[in-house]
Amino acid sequence: MLTNTKNTPIEALERHFPLRVLRYRLRRGSGGAGLAPGGEGIERDLQVLEDVTVSLITERRVSRPRGLAGGEPGATGENWLLPQGDEARSERLPDKCTLRLQAGDVVRMLTPGGGGWGPTPDASQVRI
């Protein structure tokens, strides 16, 4: 139901699935540096409203997206479980897993950032 390439509206997700979107924003600083910086990843916090089984099939949680032509790599993605939304009890999840969640649990997904392209210019090369 959710992918990195499909921007499903929050209202559609909440209407068709037993969940509430608590956070949905760009993951600032996740794109690799470069003459053309890599794109930012996305942060999503999804609270389940009833007991459910969830499967995560994600990538780039260990290896960083490569930069090209001297660009820096992007940040790796992360998956987290926040039992009952409690940050203090958060646990990191693997890239691929199936888990049973209870109503009130929150899944946090931080998608990877894109790798940058080209070397980052130093301040002496920047023209205004």
Segment among 5-9, 57-61, 74-78, 111-115 with least mean pLDDT: 5-9
More confident residue, 73 or 123: 73
- Residue 9 falls inside a structural domain: no
Q: How many CB atoms lie within 10 A of CB 59?
A: 14
- The Cα diameter of the chain in Å comes to 57
- Residue 87 falls inside a structural domain: yes
pTM of the model: 0.86
Cβ-contact 38, 74 below 8 angstroms: yes
Number of domains in the chain: 1
CATH code of the domain covering residue 107: 2.60.40
Cβ-contact 54, 98 below 8 angstroms: yes
